[in-house]
């Protein structure tokens, strides 16, 4: 991870340039980028700068402009909305969104790509860039990123929305999405390109092979859908797996109904650590040193979970009831 955590300028909400702007300052039209957003164009541009994709950063550029535009279109970005983008790349998606959003904060870990994207995004004063890692560690966003988001949101109209819209690097997709759902303010919407397998886990239901802690965490706070499955051929370099555009609409009422988000998330992860074992054994393991076996047995019996019940078979509502019962039992011991 980068150690570049120096304070960055806050995002300044500014209306995108209008059609009446001079030719010199007017933003390029999406259509004008069609011939450029290709493997050949990207290869030549990076080569000219003495660069090549860096695998450790999960760099796979989306080279189908129609799909780049689909990502932006799926987010329904409005003129008062603030967008966070993780993985600026060469700024292709950023440039399209800049013609729609009130403010954009885009983060790029690769210093060389940061410089290239800076040239592409120069016409947009309401786009601010940060060079570095979006995560302070695996469980926390960098403080200056969320501070910039909060500052921009405070200066935008009350009906403004905060969104994460990005072609996410595969190696940080799970921590980015999971951690952002903890943040204040939480996003109103997330539209991201991620591994197909990860997208399927987010929308999976009880009893399926993909159902797990991520499924429960996402669905407990969001309405989730897969917008489009993408083949490797639409990326450069080609990844070894299929990808998916996923849209998550945060249900603020559902999210606020969870008494303790951190407790819920951590407990769900513990309950699914051995997802195919019997529920009683995984619950005892998850609550070791916190609740004794008789208390756990009483909770499971009260909630109607028999000896052969397994975590992977429980519905979202059943898991929520169980986690809250465990939390209350812990509080009663204080």
- For residue 62, say whether it is annotated as part of any ligand binding site: yes
Contacts with 112 (C-beta within 8 Å, 6 or more apart), sequence order? 49, 51
Please give the Cα distance from 179 to 139 (Å, whole number): 6
Task: Show the 3-state SS of the chain.
Answer: CCCCCCCCCCCCCCCCCCCCCCCCCCCCCHHHHCCCCCHHHHHHHHHHCCCCCCHHHCCCEECCHHHHHHHHHHCCCCCCCEEEEECCCCCHHHHHHHCCCCEEEEEECCHHHHHHHHHHCCCCCCEEEEECCCEEECCEECHHHHHHHHHHHHCCCCCCCEEEEEECCHHHHHHHHHHHCCCCCCCCEEEEEEEHHHHHHHHCCCCCCCCCHHHHHHHHHEEEEEEEEECHHHEECCCCCCEEEEEEEECHHHHHCCCCHHHHHHHHHHHCCCCCCEHHHHHHHHCCCCCCHHHHHHHHHHCCCCCCCEHHHCCHHHHHHHHHHHHHHHHHCC
Phi then psi for residue 294, to 5 deg, are -60, -40
Q: Is 133 annotated as a binding residue?
A: yes
Asked if residue 135 belongs to a known ligand binding site, the reply is: no
Q: Cα separations (Å) of 291 from 199, 266, 307, 329?
A: 34, 16, 18, 8
Does residue 5 have a known ligand-binding role?
Answer: no
Question: Annotated binding residue at 121?
Answer: no
Place of tokens 């929308």: 203
- Which residues contribute to the annotated binding site for S-adenosyl-L-methionine? 60, 62, 87, 108, 133, 167
Residues making up the binding site: 60, 62, 87, 108, 133, 167
């Amino acid at each position: 991870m980068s150690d570049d955590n120096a304070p960055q300028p806050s995002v300044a909400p500014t209306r995108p340039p209008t059609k009446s702007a001079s030719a010199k300052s007017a933003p390029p039209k999406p259509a004008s980028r069609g011939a450029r957003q290709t493997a050949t164009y990207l290869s030549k541009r990076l080569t000219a700068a003495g660069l090549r994709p860096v695998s450790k950063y999960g760099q796979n550029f989306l080279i189908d402009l129609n799909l780049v535009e689909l990502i932006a279109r799926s987010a329904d970005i409005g003129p008062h909305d603030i967008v966070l983008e993780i993985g600026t790349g060469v700024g292709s998606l950023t440039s399209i969104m800049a013609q729609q959003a009130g403010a954009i904060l885009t983060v790029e870990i690769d210093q060389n790509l940061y410089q290239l994207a800076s040239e592409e995004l120069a016409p947009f004063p309401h786009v601010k860039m940060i060079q570095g890692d979006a995560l302070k560690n695996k469980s926390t966003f960098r403080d200056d990123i969320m501070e910039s988001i909060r500052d921009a949101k405070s200066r935008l109209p009350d009906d403004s929305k905060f969104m994460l819209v990005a072609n996410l690097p595969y190696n940080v997709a799970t921590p980015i999405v999971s951690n952002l759902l903890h943040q204040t303010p939480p996003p109103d919407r997330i539209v991201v390109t991620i591994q197909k397998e990860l997208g399927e886990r987010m929308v999976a239901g009880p009893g399926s092979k993909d159902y797990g802690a991520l499924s429960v965490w996402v669905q407990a706070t969001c309405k989730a859908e897969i917008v489009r499955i993408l083949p490797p051929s639409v990326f450069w370099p080609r990844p070894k797996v299929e990808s998916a555009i996923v849209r998550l609409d945060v249900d603020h009422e559902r999210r606020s109904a969870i008494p303790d988000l951190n407790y819920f998330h951590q407990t769900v992860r513990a309950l699914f650590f051995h997802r195919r074992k019997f529920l009683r054994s995984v619950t005892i393991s998850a609550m070791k040193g916190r609740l004794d076996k008789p208390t756990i047995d009483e909770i499971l019996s009260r909630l109607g979970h028999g000896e052969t019940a397994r975590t992977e078979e429980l519905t979202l509502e059943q898991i929520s009831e169980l986690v809250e019962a465990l939390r209350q039992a812990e509080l009663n011991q204080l």
